[in-house]
Amino acid sequence: MSIEPSPRFPEERRLATVLFADVQGFTSLAEKLDFETVSDMLKGIWNRLDRVVEAHNGYIDKHLGDGLMAVWGAPFAGDNDAEQAVAAGLELIRALHDFCQTTSISGVAEMKLRVGVNSGLVFAGYVGTRREYTVLGDTVNLAARLEQVAEPDSVVIGENTLRLVGGSFRVRRLPPTLVKGKTEPVQPYAVESAALQIGRIRYQSADSLQTCMVGREAEMERLCSLFDEVERGRLPLMALLDAELGMGKSRLLLELGNRLAAPPQNITLLTARALAQTSRIPFYLWRALLRNRFGLRDEDHREVALQKWQGGLDNLYREEPVNTRTEVGNALQAMMGLAEQESSPSPEASRRVNFLTAEVLRRLADNRPLAIFLDDLQWADRESLNLLTYLLQAGDKALPLFVVAAARPEFLKSQPQWHNLARVLHLEPLAFSASLVARAYPDLQPWPAASLEEIGSRSEGNPYFLEEIVKSLLKSETGAAGTGTLRPDWAVAIPESLRATLQARLDSLSREARTVALLASVVGRVFWVGSLLAAARSAPLPGGAGGLNIPPMVAERFVQDGLRQLVRAELAFPRAGSQFSEEQEYIFKSSYLRDVAYSLLPNRVRAQVHHAVAEWLSQRRDPAYLSMARDHEESAAQAARLSTGSLPPL
């Protein structure tokens, strides 16, 4: 029987992180037990382990008896997918351990979990007569292989995953291992624990490439003078760094921190960052900040964590009677994540937490200026932001508080009141001339100016893009040869962490906007409304592949809506003076965004859309566009060849 496909998720080529977990010792235990007991036990185990995967925003792909396969980055990409997958791996081991402690069946303690995690390109789509959604490819096979080399109760990750998680975990290099189908051995790493430092720069490279911060002198001066203002006025003040991803907000925070913490300044500096996955945990930002300050670690058992917390408070409140100290400690336990917390605390409870936290901060400041750096404010939970507002508006109980926060533009857009609460510093793209590139990357100084100029312009003014380009160049032959002479046809392969970020950005769009972005990517960095309509009306796409099935009746409205939303999300802009007089022209904000959107599309969809675009172009009056049309026909033919060559028809 064939079931008509009604795909819930688009079929795409995606960057994903795949996790395999396998319960060792299960089979030998199961042989000794009645199968009803075995079934109950499996249910109990999966119940717990699935919850861990879900809590880390993973997609449970399948259970394989005593094994589990989960995916991050498909069907949807989130922020920090690879990081979440590895954190889930560590947590899964703890969860199985907890499960074993709850049952009295003898021999359960022998059960141990082995976890393998790997990241890379996959094809996400539907397989089998039951049309199950899954991911396929080498990346998946390697994840399974890594799981096999993992010691019981350990998480082993591949090189790609390590690169994506940056410095978030402590890892140990394992002996290289051979994998079926690969000639070169692969390098596995065992994850030891989460790293202590949570205030890291998101993109900091694992390989030690020296970068100097450039082009932010004015912003640095401005921030230092705002700090002087706090010192003189002894009133709270907040600066908000507002900029797109990768513009250098976190880096500026880091450098400012180094500068303020250096002598002769005498300040207390506390830092925390919000995470995408914690945006609904009340007070998370302040919890992270105080946990940092008091040395509480995620892996601490509750008793240890409680001791550190109360011990720290006792020290701060040493002048006060013991019961006051314990009262404060108890009252803040929930916000510190040391006791059950309601998902949305009552206004009175929140007011009390606000008041007590302000008191704790006052004591931490100890009459000196207190600097608080809060990164990624776009992910801060509501309660944390309310507490921040409270601190800034504390009236005569005000602290000499210097808050420097960083956020992507969506933060100010959705909460414009922060324009009044904070001094907003907007970080503009940097003009990367040859000399600025060389200053940022001393390793590149011997390179010809023309190459540096070219690299600078490819960065589109974004220091993160620049860094990724430099890293990939240094790895490629161009760099290895040491001459720095770029071949005329050099192309920047999109580095994985950039791809992950932009993929997540596209996935956060509405269906209309995302579809329009994907269609437009086939047209090119520059596109026209007419070309999108032609693409959208092209024959119904097989299996809804790419999620691009648009009923022809509503195509026009769909495209117009999608385009409007894409522009509102600032991922594409209208351009004045189109090449076609009757057509409004648009441009993708960055060429990388266009490339990532394009890379998601399966070849057969590319073929179809290229063809539709070619037809549309060939009907334009100006003959210059005939050559563009020919290019699209060629791309269509090429994609069609690849499609039948590599994939079964759907």
Ligand X SMILES: Nc1ncnc2c1ncn2[C@@H]1O[C@H](COP(=O)(O)OP(=O)(O)OP(=O)(O)O)[C@@H](O)[C@H]1O
Chain positions contacting ligand X, by CB under 6 A: 201-204, 211, 213-216, 243, 245-251, 376, 408, 440, 463-464, 467
Minimum CB distance to ligand X, residue 436 (Å): 9
Q: What does the DSSP assignment read for 54-94?
A: HHTT-EEEEEETTEEEEEESSSS--TTHHHHHHHHHHHHHH
Complex with ligand X: residue 83 or 91, whichever CB lies closer:
83
| Opening angle at CA 139, ends 59 and 198, nearest 5 | 65
| CB neighbour list of residue 200: distance below 8 Å, 6 or more residues apart | 166, 167, 168
Minimum CB distance to ligand X, residue 58 (Å): 22
Segment 525 to 584, residues that bind Mg ion, using CB under 5 A: none
> Taking Cα atoms as reference points, which of 265, 67, 46, 27 lies closest to residue 147?
67
Minimum CB distance to ligand X, residue 189 (Å): 21
Minimum CB distance to ligand X, residue 166 (Å): 9
Complex with Mg ion: residue 250 or 277, whichever CB lies closer:
250
* Distances, alpha carbon 549 to alpha carbons 136, 235, 558, in Å: 23, 57, 11
Candidates 145-153, 198-206, 519-527, 562-570 — which segment interacts with Mg ion by CB under 5 A? Answer: 198-206
With CB atoms as reference, the residue minimizing the distance to ligand X is 248
Complex with Mg ion: residue 216 or 249, whichever CB lies closer:
249
Complex with Mg ion: residue 114 or 216, whichever CB lies closer:
216
Q: Which does 463 bind (CB under 5 to 8 A by kind): Mg ion, ligand X, none?
A: ligand X
Tokens of 192: 């030891």
Is the distance from CB of 430 to CB of 214 less than 8 angstroms? yes
Minimum CB distance to Mg ion, residue 254 (Å): 10
Q: Which does 78 bind (CB under 5 to 8 A by kind): ligand X, Mg ion, none?
A: none
**How far from chain centre, in Å, is Cα 349?**
32
- What are 99's strand-pairing partners? none
Distance CA(336)–CA(281), nearest Å, equals 11
Q: Which does 245 bind (CB under 5 to 8 A by kind): Mg ion, ligand X, none?
A: ligand X
Q: Which does 595 bind (CB under 5 to 8 A by kind): Mg ion, ligand X, none?
A: none
Complex with Mg ion: residue 202 or 610, whichever CB lies closer:
202
Complex with Mg ion: residue 250 or 635, whichever CB lies closer:
250
Complex with Mg ion: residue 403 or 473, whichever CB lies closer:
403
Q: Which does 203 bind (CB under 5 to 8 A by kind): Mg ion, ligand X, none?
A: ligand X
Among 80, 161, 168, 250, binds Mg ion (CB under 5 A): 250
Inter-axis angle of helices 511-523 and 555-568, nearest 10: 90
C-beta pairs of 456-460 under 8 Å, 24+ apart in sequence: 456/432, 457/432, 458/492, 459/432, 460/429, 460/590, 460/591, 460/592
Distance CA(650)–CA(115), nearest Å, equals 32
With CB atoms as reference, the residue minimizing the distance to Mg ion is 250
Complex with ligand X: residue 255 or 454, whichever CB lies closer:
255
Minimum CB distance to ligand X, residue 403 (Å): 17
Query: What SS3 state is found at 636?
Result: helix
Tokens of 275: 């995470």
Q: Which residues bind Mg ion (CB under 5 A)?
A: 202, 249-250
